[in-house]
Structure 1
Amino acid sequence: MVKVRMKDLIDKFNLELISGEEGIHRPIQTSDISRPGLEMAGFFTYYPAERLQLLGKTELSFFYGLEDPLKRKERMDRLCTDETPGIIISRSMDVPEELIEASERTEVPILRSNVTTTRLSSRLTNFLEGQLAPSTAIHGVLVDIYGVGVLITGQSGVGKSETALELVKRGHRLVADDSVEIKQESENTLIGNAPELIQHLLEIRGLGIINVMTLFGAGAIRNYKKISLVITLELWDQKKVYDRLGLEEDMMQIIDTKIPRMTIPVRPGRNLAVIIEVAAMNFRLKNMGMNAARQFSERLTREIQTGDYEDTEY
């Protein structure tokens, strides 16, 4: 599915359309941006035609220095291909006539911006990386707990939404309920948000759909949050052995990123909201180098090795 077209850049960055209006719906497939300096010198062997092309002062100064009109025409003709999504001129510089002519023949849109080349390149890259980042959707609830993005997963009806409601009442912020859209913005960064249709909404069985922002205020919601921890809720299984010390480290892979995961058994009498709240605080402490389970294990090992630990039978 096409995520970004040239028209989106025109609207987002207020770009001026110079020529090639027929091509403004061309798709952009990569966030990489090319500044065709070597191409202006005639070296097109490795020309990345599929990238958005950005011409700044350096490239155009070299181009205007070419005295042979045939070379100037040939360079611009080769710059505009059927793969090229578009060409942007920075600094509000004049657009070469040769480029306009080539654009009209190939329908490659030529745009112009008044922003400096480096700043424009940075803005375009950040926007395209966000829009073209690998994405997926996961059934669950995403809550911001003490600054930690906690993704709560589990089978339908296990109590994810009810737990999220209790967390919101305790002062934490809801990001998404039922469906969480996740983008991998960098190698180890996953950003979650709610689909626009169900943003700020929470579904509670027996109660229906509630608007968290209306009931609890703007401080009870967030539009997006980095996912740092996954907590899976599952019905208590008598035959399963659950981690009691916290030494086991389980990971869940989402797209290409691995996230720490904890499994919390659900049964009557357990306050899931408090447990998840404490899990988020403990996760923060671990990131600060304070791991209570590991410290206890090391202390116990030392006691056993020194002989001070005595096994007492009752």
Structure 2
Amino acid sequence: MAQITVAELYRDTRRKLRLTWVAGKEGGGNLLTSEAVTKPSLALIGHLNFVHPNRVQVLGCAEMDYLRSLDDDGLKFAIANLFSTDLAAVVVANGEVAPQVLLDTADHSRTPLFTSPEQSPRLMDVLSHFLAQAVAESTSSHGVFLEVQGFGVLIKGEAAIGKSELALELITRGHRLVADDVTDFYRVSPERLEGRCPLLLQDFLEVRGLGVLNVRALFGDNAIKPTKPLDLIVQLEMAENFATHQVDRLKIKAQSETILGVKIPKVTLPVAAGRNLAVLVEVAVRNHILLLRGVNSSRQFLQRQNREIRRNMSHDDRN
């Protein structure tokens, strides 16, 4: 499981959520390991089993109304309950003013305390979505990752087989680069992987003979896609390798590859002189779209062939 710090959370969401860091500024290194964002209503009255460590706690209107209803001793007791475990951070929503005892406790415990004018439901929704992306299980894969006709396509193959040259041709045909050489994939849902480019490699594509190219500078902002779900893997293999094993020319049995427990459809393309691989990749994506719609060209061909065989056999029997 990946993790991020509270300081990174603040940096990436502060503008969208209009966050102000009001206390606990020494706790920026606190780690967030869960996508859950909770409201500690029951914890404030002493039900400590509902306080989970390493999470963001949001104080909304109900929680702040309850705190305002308490006398000084009750307020201190409720705040102590809230901070009884290692919280990652606390956010006071709805433009509410944090009481001084809350500020002091956040400073003493080194727990970042933020305020925001946003309503608590929206704030929790945005934070949960951000954390789901940030702490998702991840892995890295070698290859070139592109958006082709709206689908995320990972092009894999041995070194010097022509992956980057193929990617460059696809970019000139209007498709978009996500990452060259290495792509970080995150499992953002049980059946969905999202590919992202490592920060160091963003916008760049290395092509033998040309060196490192800045794709954004060469082709414009529209040639770059920052993230994309992975839909299809295209494996490039030298054509002579196909002569060493039996080839399923009709592609009756679908290929796939499993990454982080998610099965991804896969096609293998032979690389040989004169083959237009860019066109083949585009058609592979179009065929993948047909398969998603329940249209299987190979199965249609076999069904037509079988009908013709049965018709001929019936004709022979009558004769």
- Return the TM-score normalized by structure 2: 0.88
Q: In the TM superposition, what whole-angstrom CA distance separates every residue of 1:199-257 from its partner, at most 9, and x where no partner exists?
A: 22222222322223333333333222221100111123212122211221121112232
Which one is further off, 31-40 or 198-207?
Answer: 198-207
Partner of residue 38 from structure 1, selected from 35, 42, 50? 42
**1: distance between equivalents of 2:45 and 2:232?**
51
Report the residue type matching 1:139 in the other structure: H
Q: CA deviation at 1:58?
A: 0.9
Is 2:247 the counterpart of 1:242?
Answer: yes
Tell me by how many angstroms 1:307 deviates: 4.4
3-state SS, counterpart of residue 121 of structure 1: helix
Matches within 5 A, 1:238-277: 238-277=243-282
Q: Does the 8 Å CA contact 2:40/2:50 hold for their aligned counterparts?
A: no
- Please state how far the C-alpha of 1:306 moved relative to its aligned partner: 4.6
Q: How does 1:171-190 map to 2 (within 5 A)?
A: 171-190=174-193
Matched, 1:123 2:126: yes
Structure 1 residues 218, 240: closer, same or farther in 2, change over 3 A?
same
Specify whether residues 42 and 303 from structure 1 end up closer, same or farther in structure 2 by C-alpha distance, changes over 3 A only. Answer: same
Q: Counterparts of 2:183 and 2:168 in 1: how far apart (Å)? A: 16
Task: Report how far residue 297 of structure 1 moved.
Answer: 1.9
Deviates more, 1:172-181 or 1:11-20: 11-20
**Alignment partner of 1:215 out of 215, 218, 222:** 218
Secondary structure class of the residue paired with 2:127: helix
Following superposition, the deviation at residue 308 of structure 1 comes to 4.8
SS in structure 2 opposite 1:150?
strand
Contact kept, 8 Å, 1:2 with 1:27, in 2: the verdict is no
Secondary structure of residue in 1 paired with 2:78:
helix
**Which secondary structure does the structure 2 equivalent of 1:45 belong to?**
helix
Question: Given that residues 32 and 52 in structure 1 are in contact (C-alpha distance below 8 angstroms), is that contact kept between their aligned partners in structure 2?
Answer: yes
**Would the alpha carbon gap of residues 172 and 24 (structure 1) be closer, same or farther in structure 2, given more than 3 Å must change?**
closer
Q: Give the distance between the partners of 2:147 and 2:106, measured in 1 at CA.
A: 48
Q: Secondary structure at the match of 1:25?
A: coil
Give the conservation status (yes or no) of the 8 Å contact 2:23–2:106.
yes
Correspondence for 2:294: 289
Mapping of residues 129-148 of structure 1, within 5 Å: 129-148=132-151
1:120 Cα shift?
0.8
1:17 matched to which residue of 2?
Answer: 21
Equivalences for residues 73-152 of structure 1 within 5 A? 73-81=76-84, 83-152=86-155
More off after superposition, 121-130 vs 58-67: 58-67
- Cα offset for 1:81? 3.8
The alpha-carbon distance between structure 1 residues 88 and 135, as it changes in their structure 2 partners (threshold 3 A), is same
Give the counterpart letter for 1:5 in structure 2: T
Contact 1:49–1:79 at 8 Å: present in 2 too? no
In 2, Cα distance between the equivalents of 1:165 and 1:185? Answer: 28
Question: Which residues of structure 2 form unaligned runs of 5+?
Answer: none
SS, match of residue 167 in structure 1: helix
Contact 1:9 1:15 in 2 (8 A): no
* Aligned residues with identical type, % of pairs: 35
* Cα RMSD (Å): 2.3
Q: Give the drift of 1:146.
A: 1.2
Kindly indicate whether the alpha-carbon contact (under 8 Å) linking 2:42 and 2:50 is maintained by their aligned counterparts in 1: no
Counterpart in the other structure of 1:51? 55
